[in-house]
């Protein structure tokens, strides 16, 4: 009955269910054809892109440009100017024979107390010596005293601090009390006392005197570092295998605390140069015939009386700027050590 009514209603056409099914199939086929065409077009475009870039990353990628940290420049937070100036001063002192314009020890009495000019770039002192040549020639003596005395003080500090760090509690306490007593005495007074005992000053004796009086502060740092790492497994294993004190100190302990005392070593070089200049300025340091930055400043009294400002100003500027640059380098090393400890 339903079939008959449907034919009567539609005027003899197809049934409604068959028409709907046929339209659905046609729509599905059309959609399928359209999807295939789009896929083919996308595939061709993808092949072209892959041909241009064989390693292209497909898919949605997060935008990391805003999150990526900016690359730190290599000269950031580094004392570049101080390092450059120190390099120039050290290079000039080492190669002074190539840049000196006069003999620094020659006393030209015809041109004493002469102001800076074309012939004498930095002028002459009260004995007619060329100050420009004296600065580079005398810088070698000052730098040698600073380096040699620092080497002596560092060796004493490392050995003394290593013994105190490994020693039993009673011996460690005794050694540290001795260190604190030496630290309580002004270093300059000890230097003057020992130099008076040794007699006439020269480069070696002044270096030894400054070296044997400037080690306590480094020794305390070395002792603290050794106390922290003496119970490490590799140290205990080395001692069980028969390793001596100097073997432990050189191969196991020193590599762990050398970075902690590096900035103190640099500051000791500066302090040694200051001590030598102070002694020479006071008249108990190097004699006038041995040219150094300190001995050049020892002529300051005569220079003030004659109004020869260049005799004091130019060597003083070289000395002060060099010390400031060493201080900047030492502070940079200290910041690096502190940053490393914070990271740990």
Give pLDDT tens digits for 264-318.
888 888 888 888 888 887 777 787 778 888 888 777 767 777 778 888 888 888 8
Q: Tally the C-alpha atoms within 13 A of residue 72's C-alpha that lie toward its C-beta.
A: 5
Q: Which residue has the tokens 């840049």?
A: 99
Q: Residue 191: exposed, middle, or buried by beta-carbon count in 10 A (0-12, 13-18, 19+)?
A: buried
3 state SS of 278: helix
Q: Which residue has the higher pLDDT, 129 or 73?
A: 129
Q: Which residue has the higher pLDDT, 221 or 70?
A: 221
Angle between helices 187-198 and 254-282 (to 10 degrees): 70
Tokens of 204: 């070696």
The pair phi, psi for residue 186, each rounded to 5°, is -55, 130
pTM of the model: 0.71
**Mean pLDDT across the chain, nearest whole number?**
78
The pLDDT tens digits of the residues spanning 159-179 come to 998 888 888 888 888 999 999
């Amino acid at each position: 009955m339903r079939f008959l009514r449907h034919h009567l209603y539609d005027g003899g056409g197809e049934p409604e269910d068959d028409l709907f099914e046929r339209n659905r199939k046609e729509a599905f086929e059309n959609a399928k054809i359209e999807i295939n065409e789009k896929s083919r077009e996308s595939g061709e475009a993808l092949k072209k892109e892959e041909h241009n870039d064989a390693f292209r990353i497909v898919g949605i990628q997060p935008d990391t440009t805003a999150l990526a940290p900016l690359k730190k420049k290599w000269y950031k937070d580094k004392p570049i100017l101080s390092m450059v100036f120190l390099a120039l001063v050290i290079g000039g002192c080492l190669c002074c024979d190539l840049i000196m314009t006069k003999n620094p020890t020659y006393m030209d009495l015809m041109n004493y107390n002469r102001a800076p000019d074309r012939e004498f770039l930095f002028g002459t002192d009260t004995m007619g010596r060329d100050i420009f040549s004296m600065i580079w020639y005398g810088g070698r003596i000052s730098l040698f005293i600073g380096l040699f005395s620092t080497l002596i003080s560092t060796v004493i500090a490392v050995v003394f601090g290593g013994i105190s760090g490994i020693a039993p509690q009673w011996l460690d306490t005794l050694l540290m009390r001795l260190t604190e007593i030496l630290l309580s005495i002004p270093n300059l007074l000890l230097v003057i006392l020992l130099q008076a005992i040794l007699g006439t000053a020269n480069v070696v004796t002044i270096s030894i005197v400054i070296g044997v009086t400037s080690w306590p502060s480094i020794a305390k740092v070395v002792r603290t570092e050794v106390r922290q790492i003496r119970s490490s497994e590799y140290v205990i294993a080395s001692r069980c295998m028969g390793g001596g004190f100097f073997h432990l100190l050189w191969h196991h302990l020193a590599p762990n605390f050398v970075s902690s005392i590096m900035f103190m070593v640099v500051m000791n070089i500066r302090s040694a140069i200051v001590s030598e200049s102070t002694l020479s300025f006071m008249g108990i340091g190097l004699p006038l015939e041995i040219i150094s930055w300190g001995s050049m400043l020892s002529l300051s009294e005569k220079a003030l009386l004659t109004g020869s400002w260049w005799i004091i100003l130019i060597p003083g500027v070289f000395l002060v700027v060099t010390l400031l640059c060493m201080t900047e380098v030492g502070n940079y090393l200290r910041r690096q050590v502190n940053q490393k400890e914070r990271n740990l």
